Amino acid sequence: MKTSLYLFAGLFLLFFATSCEDDDDITPSLDVPTTYAFSRDGASTVSFSGQSERIAMAEELVSSFTDFSQTTESLNNMFTNAEGTNPFTDAELNASTKSIRSKVAASSELFAANSVLSAEIKEDFDGWISAQVNEVFPAQSEVAEAGTPGQIADGSSVRYVNAWGLEYNQAFAKSLIGGLMYDQIANHYLSPLQLDSGTRRTDNTAGIVETDESYTAMEHRWDEAYGYLFGASEDETGPLTDLGSADNFLNKYLGRVNDDEDFSDTAANIEAAFRRGRAAIVAADYTERDAQASIIKDELSKVIRVRAAYYLMQGKAALEDSNMGGAFHDLSEGYGFVYSLRFIDGTAGEDIAESYLTTLRNADGNGFWDIDPAALETIASEIASSGGFSLEAAAN
């Protein structure tokens, strides 16, 4: 009897030990650094220079929208950075092989199988460039009115709008937040379609690095996502120190949303998820990697929704105060954020965004000049509801 008990106890301990070993294989231990710093054999494995370059290119392009000496060709050259054009004031950007346009509406998840839609979206951006030069530039000294482009006062600032009140520079910049930054982060580099493409998962597990590099292909893809948000940060390993001022795109508006006490944990959640997800890749824990990617996507989609609702409500308030210049500026920013909604809900986002944009264009009337303020609140309320937050929280 004793022999049977000893045998049973021994088998139990063996089973328990084996189970623990199996659990360790299934759930690797993560070594999450306190900053976004990862290395292999003493060399940093973090690289996202291409993303930093595109952010810098976009900054100069958007700034040039209100430089009336520019031409359609010069602005298009900044957008495409075609070889030999040297469109930028920064020689390093001119020498770069990167471009903005090639990465607009170019994610694996949304556009790999829909080149027609990708081309249509790129053409929207092309159209805003040509319209700025052909419609707004000639009317620089004209006072805008319904049906006529020109300048309109907004406090101490002067805004330049098209015939129905839209600032093309604001539409372009805010749409780029969704069409470039968010789309590349959420729908491309954080997608398993990129992270696990080809042999990337097995290579990463085995620690096989890219030729002449210190990082694996999977590590690099994750870092490239990080770069579209924090690639212009002064301290790229601790990017929250200058959050909101590092660039005028997704980083800026993450900062704005994070400054709202209703959403004050947003930036910390994203930054921590980037670090933890990257550590999970190092540990070959792909379940944890995907969990952190989901956090990043959810939080960044919230940023776009919050700012869309915010600007629509700001525009509504300004219209009701007969402050047309302020209203048009807010609505132009809101227009771009609404355009960006098409990138955050998969294929469903396209139809929703286009429906809202049709309302904002108010083609049967005079655009922003006589749009119904109640329609703006309706759209803002629907956006807030879809994001799981209150309109009051977004609008303050």
Q: How far apart are CA 194 and CA 220, in angstroms?
A: 11
Tokens 């419609």 correspond to 135
pTM, to two decimals: 0.93
| DSSP per residue, 206-270 | HTPPPTTSSS-HHHHHHHHHHHHHHTT-SSTTSGGGGTTTS-SSHHHHHHHHHHSGGGTTHHHHH
Q: How far apart are CA 313 and CA 242, in angstroms?
A: 27
From residue 213, alpha-carbon distances to 5, 196, 348, 392 in Å are 57, 19, 39, 49
**Would you mind telling me the total number of residues written for the chain in this entry?**
396
- What integer pLDDT is reported at residue 20 of this predicted model? 46
Tell me the sheet residues that pair with 159: 152
Over the chain (396 residues), the average pLDDT of each successive run of 10 is: 44 45 58 98 98 99 99 99 97 98 98 97 99 99 98 96 99 99 99 98 99 99 99 98 99 99 99 99 99 99 99 99 98 99 84 96 98 98 97 96
- What integer pLDDT is reported at residue 314 of this predicted model? 99
- What integer pLDDT is reported at residue 353 of this predicted model? 96
Cβ neighbours for 350, distance < 8 A, ≥ 6 positions apart: 117, 342
- What integer pLDDT is reported at residue 75 of this predicted model? 99
Residue type, 222: W
SS3 category, 161: strand
- What integer pLDDT is reported at residue 29 of this predicted model? 82
- What integer pLDDT is reported at residue 346 of this predicted model? 75
At residue 348's C-alpha, the angle toward residues 343 and 354, to 5°, is 70
- What integer pLDDT is reported at residue 28 of this predicted model? 64
